[in-house]
């Protein structure tokens, strides 16, 4: 895996509602090496982009400081979406920082305060049918997949590590 700068985003213009109000979509068109593609994604600003063995890993932020979301896309070399993850929660501020490549298949970054996140590209796609219960349900509200991508085997695994208010460490993977 290596960091690249081949992509950019073109924001989608707001549309008018039937009542004449502006509807703002936090969506963008992917631009690859200066050429617009047909690919529309959630998010409006690049946080990081990597080339990996399956194609490209794009981390795109919502640019909303009090409800920041991070949209993670795995694209094939033909710019088709292979997998998608979303990290974020309403009324929860977050800042993407301290991204670093761990190995050919993993990156690590901070997002919610000092919570540490590791994103891993699996060797083979894996199904994850388990739903968290109890305190792990909180993690699931922070990290999820669109339904279309949650019912099939996935290449991306996201592991979050955090401490509760008593200092106890927790981790969970999706």
Domain ranges of the chain: 2-173
pLDDT confidence of residue 26: 82
Instruction: Check residue 168 and give its pLDDT.
Output: 86
Q: So what's the pLDDT on residue 24?
A: 62
pLDDT the model gives residue 25: 67
135: part of which helix (H) or strand (E)? none
**Measured between alpha carbons, how far is 152 from 145 in angstroms, rounded to an integer?**
11
pLDDT score recorded for residue 80: 96
Angle at 148 between CA 150 and CA 48, to 5 degrees: 75
Token digits of residue 88: 């974020």
The pLDDT value given to residue 137: 47
Q: Give me the pLDDT at residue 136, please.
A: 47
pLDDT in tens, the chain (174 residues): 999 999 999 988 777 767 776 666 688 999 999 999 999 999 999 999 999 999 999 999 998 877 788 999 999 999 999 999 998 877 777 889 899 999 999 999 998 877 899 999 999 998 876 555 455 445 445 777 776 777 678 999 998 887 778 888 877 777
Q: What is the DSSP letter of 67?
A: S
Question: Which pLDDT value is given to residue 17?
Answer: 64
The sign of the torsion formed by the CA atoms of 144, 56, 98, 42 equals: negative
């Amino acid at each position: 895996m290596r960091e690249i700068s081949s992509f950019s985003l073109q924001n989608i213009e707001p549309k008018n509602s039937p009542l004449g109000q502006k509807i703002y979509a936090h969506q963008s068109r992917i631009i690859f090496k200066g050429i617009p593609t047909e690919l529309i994604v959630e998010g409006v600003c690049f946080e990081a982009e990597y080339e990996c063995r399956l194609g490209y890993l794009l981390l795109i932020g919502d640019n909303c400081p009090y409800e920041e979301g991070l949209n993670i896309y795995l694209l094939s070399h033909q710019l088709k979406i292979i997998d998608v993850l979303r990290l974020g929660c309403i009324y929860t501020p977050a800042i993407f920082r301290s991204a670093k490549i761990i190995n050919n298949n993993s990156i690590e970054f901070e997002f919610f305060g000092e919570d540490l996140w590791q994103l891993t590209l699996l060797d083979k796609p894996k199904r994850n049918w388990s739903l968290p219960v109890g305190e792990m349900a909180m993690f699931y509200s922070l990290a999820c997949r669109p339904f279309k991508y949650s019912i099939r085997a996935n290449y991306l695994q996201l592991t979050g590590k955090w401490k509760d208010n008593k200092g106890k460490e927790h981790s969970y993977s999706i």
